[in-house]
Amino acid sequence: MKPWILASALALLISVVGCKPSTDTGTGGTTPAPKGEAKSGGEGGIKPGSVTIDGSGTVYPIASLMAEDFGAANSDITVSVNKAGTGSGFKKFIDGSIDIATASRTIEEKEEADCKAKGVEFIEIPIAYDGISVIVNKDNAFVDKLSTDELKKLYGEDSKAMTWADVRAGWPADKFNLTGPSDNHGTYEFFTEKGLGKKNAIRKEYQAQQEYNTIIQAVEGDKNAIGYLGYSYYADNKDKVKLIPIDGVEPTPETIANGSYKPLGRTLFLYVNKKLADRPEIKKFLEYALSADGLKAVTERQYVLLPERAYEMIKARIAAGKTGSIFRTAPAGKTTVDILDAAK
């Protein structure tokens, strides 16, 4: 082998070995545990001694860090974490090709019906809070706040607004440019439903992105761009973009935790197949994920913890094997603790 070929091969090997798990989101990301990628083959066909997780790109930074720390202390268990998007994660979960689905929204009625048709009973596990954050370019001096009505003027399916002046009198007559996640993301689904009032409906000028880092780059590079993403991704890039309060409230760990950041505050979830929850490796991972050590991943990745009492009730629900979604049908305005209390 020629010396320059050998040197190139060695450099490539070193770069691969030195890689750290990504905290970006989108499709295709993976965080394997030290022993390598788990093999999936439907319910009962997943490799023993492994835990396979897929779904939300928003939950990915939490789940991947949990997997990394858990794997370091449990070398006999492989945890594989992917980020295909909430919708894709639920499809895999229903088909039985993964053990745990991560979700940045609750399971939908049709998805729950599909679970029932496939004989999949699931346990719903709230894991953290998040606030969808609206961002503009750092050099945008005039957008200092937005109302939900103005969000609809910007992003709404039927909106005719094309310039900033169309959104608010006194703003410049420059054309704004809209970006955000693709429709495979729970963030898109939640934003359109809660922020715009019509789920999965957005204007045709919207530029959808698979990766959250691409949203940051798009807004950073265009003085007339506006986008939205999970709070953690804003917090990791606050030097690059400007955060916008919605209806007078800025998303912060405090406003997200106390519920005052409306309507874009939300709960993040894990969903586990009840038949698999007692499998030793999955049981051990869930116990770790809900322990004080495991939950450090929530704050380290700049998400917001649920109340301590909520985690205790969640652990009790898992131990009792209580299935089905209690959050999808919960009355508006109820806290996580209220919802868990009502479902005892």
pLDDT of residue 21: 39
Q: Are 115 and 271 in contact (CB under 8 A)?
A: no
**CATH code for the domain of 98:** 3.40.190.10
Residue 156 lies in a domain: yes
pLDDT of residue 304: 96
Q: What is the arithmetic mean of pLDDT over 237-266?
A: 96
- C-alpha distances in Å from residue 144, one per residue of 135, 141, 245, 301: 10, 7, 7, 26
pLDDT in tens, 310-329: 999 999 999 999 999 999 99
Domain end (from 203, 232, 265): 265
One domain for residues 146 and 255: yes
Q: Are 125 and 286 in contact (CB under 8 A)?
A: yes
Q: What is the arithmetic mean of pLDDT over 177-185?
A: 95
What's at 132, amino acid-wise?
A: I
Residue 1 lies in a domain: no
Domain that holds residue 210: 131-265
One domain for residues 251 and 164: yes
CA-based nearest residue to 51, from 286, 297, 292: 286
One domain for residues 328 and 214: no
One domain for residues 29 and 117: yes
Domain end (from 219, 249, 265): 265
One domain for residues 120 and 135: no
pLDDT in tens, 10-65: 343 333 333 333 344 343 444 544 333 333 333 443 566 899 999 999 999 999 99
pLDDT of residue 332: 79
One domain for residues 139 and 167: yes
Residue 337 lies in a domain: yes
One domain for residues 125 and 161: no
Residue 88 lies in a domain: yes
Q: What is the pTM of this model?
A: 0.85
One domain for residues 205 and 276: no
Q: Are 89 and 26 in contact (CB under 8 A)?
A: no
One domain for residues 30 and 123: yes
Residue 4 lies in a domain: no
Please state the domain count of the chain: 2
**Residues in Cβ contact with 68 at an 8 Å cutoff, skipping those fewer than 6 apart:** 21, 31, 33
- C-alpha distances in Å from residue 264, one per residue of 132, 184, 189, 256, 344: 5, 18, 11, 9, 27
One domain for residues 145 and 243: yes
Domain end (from 265, 299, 315): 265
